[in-house]
Amino acid sequence: MSDLDEVFDAASRYFALLAEPTRLRILHRICEGECTVSEIISATGGSQTNISRHLNAMFRVGVLTRRRDRNFTWYGVADPMLTEICRTVCVHLASREIVRGEVLPFQGDLAPPLRRASQTLRGHS
């Protein structure tokens, strides 16, 4: 396997991490600042079991930090590049129809939410 093949394999695993909408929701919440599992559950609307499963997976691959403080577990961003990639792609997808008049294949009823999402995502730094 060449060095490039190893890079492509690693990039594929990195992007596979983003293939789950719940993980994007988690990152969206955590990029605002370190937060507890309860705060993540509240922000994402996921179940305790599902959110914990995703948090553990994301922590194991090194994209999240985790610390315990008494009865709370706090998660934060360990890989700021990942949140930047997510934000860039989400803003791009949400604004395509607005900026260029392009039609997204999955646009349909999602146009207003995508428009609002683009505005929300642009507000984060």
Co-location of 54 and 85 in the same domain: no
Co-location of 71 and 85 in the same domain: no
Which structural domain range is residue 114 located in? 81-123
Co-location of 37 and 74 in the same domain: yes
Amino acid at 12: S
Distance CA(104)–CA(54), nearest Å, equals 28
What's the total number of domains in the chain? 2
Distance CA(57)–CA(63), nearest Å, equals 9
Amino acid at 86: C
Amino acid at 98: I
Neighbour count for residue 58 (Cβ, 10 Å): 23
Indicate which CATH number applies to the domain containing 34: 1.10.10.10
Neighbour count for residue 4 (Cβ, 10 Å): 8
- pLDDT tens track for 26-61: 999 998 899 999 999 999 999 999 999 999 999 998
Co-location of 31 and 45 in the same domain: yes
Co-location of 72 and 90 in the same domain: no
Co-location of 43 and 62 in the same domain: yes
Let me know: does 40 contact 26? Beta carbons within 8 Å: yes
Co-location of 31 and 9 in the same domain: yes
- The sheet carrying 35-36 orders its strands as 35-36, 72-77, 64-69
Distance CA(110)–CA(94), nearest Å, equals 9
Record the pTM: 0.72
Q: What is the mean pLDDT of residues 81-92?
A: 85
Co-location of 61 and 114 in the same domain: no
- pLDDT tens track for 18-29: 889 999 999 999
Co-location of 114 and 74 in the same domain: no
